[in-house]
Structure 1
Amino acid sequence: MKRDGHIHTPFCPHGSKDALNHYVEAAIRQGFREITFTEHAPLPEGFIDTTPTKDSAMELSVMEKYLSAVQQLQKEYKQDLTVHLGLEVDYIESFEKETTQFLNEYGPYLDDSILSVHFLKHKQNWYCLDYSDDVFEEMTTIFGSVSAIYQNYFHTVHQSILADLGSYKPKRIGHMTLVHKFQQKFPCTKDFSAEIDGILRKAKLYHYELDYNGAGIVKPLCGETYPPAEIAAKAKALGIPLVYGSDAHSAKGIGQGSEQIQL
């Protein structure tokens, strides 16, 4: 069954304002039979969005509207495709308790969700690694090198799998090589295959899925899926389920990168 498991919505502050039904209709036209809306969950209580535009996630005040809107779509389109209600939840080091509290409250309403790392901690500050190439360049100075950012990122993804976030913790790891987003401008010379293999082993051990994300294909400084094909092949060989995700932030983004993905 053709499935897109990672789709954003007009509730995303940094996405388009395309209507929800436009996303659904784009999916139907492309032959998808199952989709999941995974809007960026509100950041944990007490965490300050460190991006310049402060628009990384939904505000908590609109969560009920988001839930209601997707639930309405589920009813409206139930004859055409299966619509799942989900979230993309940020794993942010040192905010596990707050994230667990949020999931305990809203998890019962969710069908299918993703756990992702966007923010990296350095000393007492957090930095959004995928915001822009300019911010990534600043991070190379703060962290010390491109490889130091990669090391921190893969360590944090590993920690996200191990973290206790309660019974509603998402079971799919989002774009596990997101740190590659600007690799053509900021190449990394260090080999992180051991760290990646460690993440895959833990994903297998704890029965996690991987988001096989097509968005990197259309990012001009990336040019590959998250994760790239060779890592996806390793995951598949281990029996880790791979779920295609367009990571669409507009209706036209539905299906992006899917031609390069072999499930």
Structure 2
Amino acid sequence: MIIDGHIHTPYCPHGSSDSFKAYIEQALKQGYQTMTFTEHAPLPPSFHDPVPDKDSGMKLSLMESYIKDIQQIKKEYQKEIDILLGLEVDYIEGYQQQTSLFLSEYGDVLDDSILSVHFLKGPSGRYHCIDFSESAFQKAVEDFGAIEKVYQSYFSTIEQSIQADLGPYKPARIGHMTLVRKFHHRFPSPSEWDKPVPELLKKIKQKSYQLDYNGAGYYKPACKESYPPHTIAAQAYRAGIPLVYGSDAHTSSAIGQGLDQIDQTLITG
């Protein structure tokens, strides 16, 4: 049984214009039984998106249309595949209240969502999108003063996201928890980079959350591994944390990416 809990859509401002049907038809070809559309949620209104095109999240004005389109496509394909309406929500330090307000408005229509960390607040006060590009990652390293401090901040922010009170509609799956390693072949990870992981997994388990077992990293030239990598995924599995495969597809052709490379014996299905 193939469940894909992390799929983007034509509403992604930095993705593809491929239609919902294109994604679904590709999923059906690959034998999917369940798929969750998890578009990047609108960023908090007062947050300044640090990427050049300001396109990290969908526009708030499109939320109603996004919801309506997925509800319609769910009906069209209800006999063929279980389609879930979701979002990939950013946890951003300092913007918890705005995120909670957003979730309180739209959370009741969501079937399944992800909580991810893409942005880190640097010592300068600037926010960095750590997966945008190698040059953006380099700027984060320069701001923090050392790559070790980038990793410390990243895992600290992941911990904040786990513990944060975002209301009753807080997503219950932690997205790509090792995204900080997207460029690790270009910027080698510090020694013992994964030291915080056991405690993070313990907290995820305590909250009864799931973990996104994300195959997209295999297709990133400076990563070449899943988020999280196999060793951490295995730790999570042994701890009793449900792992949900995510293609993190931003095009219909990326449906199923990484599924053959991850350890499928670990995933929820």
Q: What is the TM-score normalised by the length of structure 2?
A: 0.96
The answer to which of 43-52 and 96-105 deviates more is 43-52
Does residue 1:200 correspond to 2:201, yes or no?
yes
Distance in 2 of aligned mates of 1:48 and 1:194: 31
Q: CA offsets, 1:165-208, max 9 Å, x none?
A: 00000000000000000000000222133311111000001101
Distance in 2 of aligned mates of 1:142 and 1:125: 8
Identity of aligned residues (%): 55
Distance in 2 of aligned mates of 1:116 and 1:139: 18
Q: CA offsets, 1:106-133, max 9 Å, x none?
A: 0001000000000001132211000001
Distance in 2 of aligned mates of 1:75 and 1:193: 43
> What is the match of residue 147 of structure 2?
146
Q: Secondary structure at the match of 2:184?
A: coil
Are the aligned partners of 2:122 and 2:140 in contact in 1 as well (CA < 8 Å)? no
The gaps in structure 2 that reach 5 residues or longer are: none
Moved over 3 A (4+): none
Amino acid at match of 1:250: T
> What is the match of residue 6 of structure 2?
6
Q: Secondary structure at the match of 1:211?
A: strand
Amino acid at match of 1:64: E
Distance in 1 of aligned mates of 2:116 and 2:13: 17
Are the aligned partners of 2:36 and 2:112 in contact in 1 as well (CA < 8 Å)? yes
> What is the match of residue 69 of structure 2?
69
> What is the match of residue 237 of structure 2?
236
Distance in 1 of aligned mates of 2:225 and 2:83: 27
Distance in 1 of aligned mates of 2:44 and 2:199: 27
The answer to which of 93-102 and 118-127 deviates more is 118-127
> What is the match of residue 97 of structure 2?
97
Distance in 2 of aligned mates of 1:181 and 1:89: 19
Distance in 2 of aligned mates of 1:243 and 1:188: 25
Q: What is the TM-score normalised by the length of structure 1?
A: 0.99
Aligned-residue offset at 1:148: 1.1
Distance in 2 of aligned mates of 1:189 and 1:95: 29
> What is the match of residue 248 of structure 1?
249
Distance in 2 of aligned mates of 1:62 and 1:137: 33
Distance in 1 of aligned mates of 2:174 and 2:107: 16
Q: CA offsets, 1:218-251, max 9 Å, x none?
A: 0000000000000000000000000000000000
Q: Secondary structure at the match of 1:223?
A: coil
Aligned-CA RMSD value? 0.7
The gaps in structure 1 that reach 5 residues or longer are: none
Q: Secondary structure at the match of 2:148?
A: helix
Q: Secondary structure at the match of 1:33?
A: strand
> What is the match of residue 60 of structure 1?
60
The answer to which of 85-94 and 182-191 deviates more is 182-191
Distance in 2 of aligned mates of 1:233 and 1:188: 20
> What is the match of residue 166 of structure 1?
167
Amino acid at match of 1:113: S
Amino acid at match of 1:82: D
Distance in 2 of aligned mates of 1:144 and 1:209: 33
Distance in 1 of aligned mates of 2:131 and 2:117: 10
Does residue 1:136 correspond to 2:111, yes or no?
no
Amino acid at match of 2:172: K
Q: CA offsets, 1:59-92, max 9 Å, x none?
A: 0000001000110110000011000000000000
Q: Secondary structure at the match of 1:5?
A: strand
> What is the match of residue 177 of structure 2?
176
Q: Secondary structure at the match of 1:260?
A: coil
Distance in 2 of aligned mates of 1:14 and 1:192: 30
The answer to which of 187-196 and 52-61 deviates more is 187-196
Distance in 1 of aligned mates of 2:8 and 2:252: 9
> What is the match of residue 31 of structure 1?
31
Amino acid at match of 2:251: S
